Amino acid sequence: MDLAILGDPNRKAIFERLARRPSSVGELAESLPITRQAVSQHLQILKKGGLVVSTAQGTRRIYRINPEGLAAIQAYFQQIWDDALTAFQKAAEKAAGDTEQENRP
């Protein structure tokens, strides 16, 4: 998973819109200040990165968030959160131990 994929503001906006509801290229382009072609290019990058999937619906493709891609992002941030909490706990325990040693006669 490469979070840099969401570093582009338009790509991030597309991803956020798809999180609210599945959409076609045309629907996305109507709500963004970029062309349909640009939306298509961004969607291909998101799709290649595993963050969106598409299904055919008549003559158009409907894009939606890939639950597996979203789960990978969630797991990534959960690991960062867990590591930060572990580091905080160790620092707090060390500080408590240092304080106890200072207070001994």
In a domain, 11, yes or no: yes
pLDDT in the model for residue 3: 86
pLDDT in the model for residue 105: 63
Contact 52, 20 (CB under 8 A): no
Provide the CATH number for the domain around residue 56: 1.10.10.10
Q: Which of 35, 8, 31 is nearest to 21 (CA)?
A: 31
pLDDT in 10s for each residue of the chain, 105 residues? 688 999 999 999 999 999 999 999 999 999 999 999 999 999 999 999 999 999 999 999 999 999 999 999 999 999 999 999 999 999 998 888 877 777 776
Structural domain span for residue 57? 3-66
Q: What pTM value is reported for the model? A: 0.78
The count of structural domains within the chain is: 1
**Those residues with Cβ within 8 angstroms of residue 18's Cβ, 6 or more apart along the chain or in another chain:** 28, 52, 63, 64, 65
